[in-house]
Amino acid sequence: MENGQTLQAQTLPGEVVQSPKNAKFANILSVIILIVFVALIIYMMTKLASDETYWTRALYLFGSVEAIAFAAAGYVFGRQVSREQIDKAEDQAERANNNARNARQAASEHQHEADVSVTKLNSIVAVVRAEADSLGATVDTGEASDIRRQQGPGIQAALERLARTVEAIGK
């Protein structure tokens, strides 16, 4: 990095940045919670013949564990969906950058072509004026004398007037 700058990670709004170590720990913990939840379901299935009081208490505890398990599942699946959305957004940004780069390059090429055309046209105007002066004629090149002000169709019109002037001198 130049001038002592440091590289900082770019984050999306609401995105929590985790170190790889913390992310690995969170993934392992989520999987463990889901395994415990499945084990609790299996355990409760074995107690189907228990009395009503036992089931009421067990369901109360099961609801708490279920909420934690669903939060863990949400973390695991939500993280994957977020990663896919981030990857998709990064791809779109890369395509947009490429399109912008190509547009700048095309604009630069067109500007160069326009500059070359202006130079050629100004040379033609100078030659026509010199030829007209040597013949003692007056040349009205109009807007062609300052072609840099012309855009698009204006250049074509200036060229046509210049061609008519050259024909008039030749007659």
pLDDT tens for 89-141 read 888 989 989 988 998 998 888 888 888 877 877 777 777 777 666 666 665 65
Distance separating alpha carbons of residues 78 and 67, to the nearest angstrom: 16
* Mean pLDDT in residue range 27-36: 87
Helix, strand or coil, per DSSP, at residue 21: helix
pLDDT tens for 73-84 read 888 777 767 777
* Mean pLDDT in residue range 22-34: 84
Q: Which residues contact 105 (CB under 8 A, 6 or more apart)?
A: none
Q: Does 5 score more than 80 pLDDT?
A: no
* Mean pLDDT in residue range 147-170: 62
To the nearest whole number, what is the mean pLDDT of the chain?
75
Q: CA angle, 80 as apex, 74 and 83 as ends, to 5°?
A: 130
Token pair belonging to 123: 């040379």
Give 105-171 as a 3 state SS string: HHHHHHHHHHHHHHHHHHHHHHHHHHHHHHHCCCCCCHHHHHHHHCCCHHHHHHHHHHHHHHHHHHC
* Mean pLDDT in residue range 5-28: 61
CA distances (Å), 43 to each of 27, 35, 48, 63, 71, in order?
24, 12, 9, 14, 21
Specify the higher pLDDT residue, 19 or 72: 72
What was the pLDDT predicted at 147?
47
Specify the higher pLDDT residue, 170 or 64: 64
> How many Cβ atoms from other residues are within 10 Å of residue 69's Cβ?
20
What was the pLDDT predicted at 75?
82
Distance separating alpha carbons of residues 35 and 29, to the nearest angstrom: 10
Q: Is the pTM of this model over 0.75?
A: no
